[in-house]
Amino acid sequence: MIRVYSTPLRARFRGLTRRTGIILTHGQRAAEFSPFIEYDDAYAARWLKATTSALLTDVPPGRRQTINVNVTVPAVSPERAHEIVLASGGCRTAKVKVADAGQDLADDLARLEAVRDALGPTGLIRVDANTGWDLEDAIRILPQLDRAAGGLQYAEQPVADVEDLATLRRQVNVPIAADESIRRSDDPLAVARLAAADYAILKVQPLGGIRAAMDLADALSLPVVASSALESSVGIALGVQLAAALDIELACGLATVHLFAHDVTSAPLLPTGGTLPVRAVTPDRLLAGDPHLRCEPDEEAYWLARLERVAALAGIDLDAFKDEPHV
């Protein structure tokens, strides 16, 4: 079956106030197709290959049954950031969004101080700037964030250019993680070749599937953090499976379902004791027609047309997933 879902977000994230995507099922399996609106069809084709691969091929066996995860803190007020960490289901690592449009350094510093207070002295803090700075600003700002956080585990994608990322890594004492420089690049191995990062952030949908992500992890030879592309529990389940297959010990950025006002399943993947279980997810709420997940007719038409275009571009036959009952 092919179903479009749409849900409000509990806080603005990546500039979004709603998250919309498509859930496809095949037999007892479910997978998600949810490339962001700004991505063109050629890049979205990678996301669809990940979706159909999850439905039609066996998932690599995992080497653990639970995955350590970080709590993700959007660009919210210090008070709200503190609340999110305390309500995170026992996460001892926090990834904090910084460099958000419409905010300034003072906002980021206050948010980090609140997160440190909520975590206590032994928790780990990461920041994610989503390419929000140029090199000069990153060199100036990162030491200040490091002090406010009481020490950063790493800074994720502070600048866009991979050469600048390498320069930044040599000039600051904060470890660097690469995300966009891997998943949006025609040459993802440049991150390793230029010694531009200490960690690699890998996401299943943008990289074309679990096996493609595993191959890239092997080629990069960097410590890996599996992360969410802001997906429902159906999409998150694949990220958890990737982390289990790679036997990742670092806390992974997969605990993002709390950002959704509504999930496609009645058994969402939310952390307990700072971990997520490795398990399949059934989108029962979506398949039952939960009105909280419905989108407007024009939005649904847009997503279904986009799916058809991307499938044609990728040479993927969607007939196998249409009108098939989910067991």
- Distance in angstroms (rounded) separating the CA atoms of residues 276 and 283: 17
Q: What is the DSSP string of 224-248?
A: EEEB--S--HHHHHHHHHHHHHHT-
Number of H helices, E strands in the chain: 12, 12
The helix/strand/coil state of 217 is helix
Q: Distances in Å between the alpha carbon of 28 and those of 138, 157, 198, 278? A: 47, 37, 38, 16
49 a catalytic residue: no
Cβ atoms 217, 188 nearer than 8 A: no
Cβ atoms 50, 238 nearer than 8 A: yes
Provide the strand spans (E) within 98-240. 124-128, 154-156, 176-178, 199-202, 224-226
- Distance in angstroms (rounded) separating the CA atoms of residues 304 and 38: 16
- Distance in angstroms (rounded) separating the CA atoms of residues 278 and 285: 20
The H-or-E segment that residue 6 falls in is strand 2-13
Cβ atoms 113, 294 nearer than 8 A: no
Cβ atoms 307, 48 nearer than 8 A: yes
Closest residue by Cα to residue 112 from 68, 150, 143:
150
97 a catalytic residue: yes
Backbone angles phi, psi at 108, to 5 degrees: -65, -40
Cβ atoms 78, 103 nearer than 8 A: no
Query: What amino acid positions are annotated as catalytic residues?
Result: 97, 203
